[in-house]
Chain A
C-alpha cells in the first residue's frame, strides 16, 4: 500500500511555462514533506521542503503548496527551464522517522 503517491509518471511542459507536480499521501501522521530532483546516474538532490504547520513555502522559482485536509501537496516551478528536466520525487516523514518516497514524476521541459 503506497503511502505517498505521484499519479503522473510523466509531464511535459514548454519552456517558460509553469510546471505543476502533484503528490498525495495517505498517512495523516506525516508532518514534514520534501521534494527531491533526480538526474540520471545521480543521487536525489533536495529541492524544497514544507512543514505541516505551513501551507506554502517558496524558494526562487520553486513553490510547494500543502493542503492538509486533502492530504495533497504540489510543487510549482515557474518559469520552467530545460535544466529542470529530471525525475521529481515527493517524500514525507512522520515524527522524525524515515522518509517515504513516492514513485516519481519525470518532467520534460521542452525548449
Chain B
C-alpha cells in the first residue's frame, strides 16, 4: 500500500512568487491534514479536510495560503505571494477515521523563500 506522498520534496522560490504543494493521501483515507514545521520547532497544524470539505482551517496563518481538495482525493496548498517567514517544512498526513486513530505522514516538502 502506497503511503502519503508529497510533491515536490523541496522548493526554493523568491519572495513574492507563488508555490503550490501537492499531497496524495493514502487511498481510502477521508481525513487529510496539513502541518508546518518552521525552523526546527514544533509541528503546527494548518488545516484538516474531511473528504473535500474543510473541517478545520483554524491554523492557516493568513489569506496568502489556500488549500483545496478537489474530489476528496489529493490536496494542494498554494502560497501566494510567498514571504520569507513561510519557509519551513510542510507535512501532509492522512487518516482513515476522524478520531482515535493515527495519522500517517508524508515525507514533507521543504520550502525555502529567498
Q: Which residues of A contact B (CB under 8 A)?
A: 2, 31-32, 34, 36, 41-46, 49, 51, 89, 91, 93, 95-104
Contact = CB atoms under 8 A, between A and B. Distances in A.
Contacts of B105: 36, 43-46
Interface residues of B, number: 26
Contact of A101 (B43, B99, B101, B102): B43
Interface of B: 4, 6, 33, 35, 41-45, 48, 56, 59, 91, 93, 97-108
5 contacts: A44-B105, A46-B102, A96-B99, A98-B56, A99-B33
A31 B45 CA distance: 18
Contact of B45 (A49, A95, A99, A103): A99
B42 A97 contact: no
